[in-house]
Amino acid sequence: MATLDLGSGGGVDTLNGIATYLSNGGTAARVLTASLLGLISSPFIAVIDIINAITQFATAPFEGAGQSIAALFDGLL
Q: Note the pLDDT tens digit of each residue in 48-57.
A: 999 999 999 9
Q: What is the CA radius of gyration of the chain?
A: 23
The pTM for the full model equals 0.58
| pLDDT range class, residue 70, cuts 50, 70, 90 | confident
Residue spans per domain, the chain: 11-76
Environment class of 4 (CB within 10 Å of its CB; exposed 0-12, middle 13-18, buried 19+): middle
pLDDT single digits (tens) 12-41: 988 998 999 999 999 999 889 988 998 999
Is the Cβ–Cβ distance between 2 and 25 less than 8 Å? yes
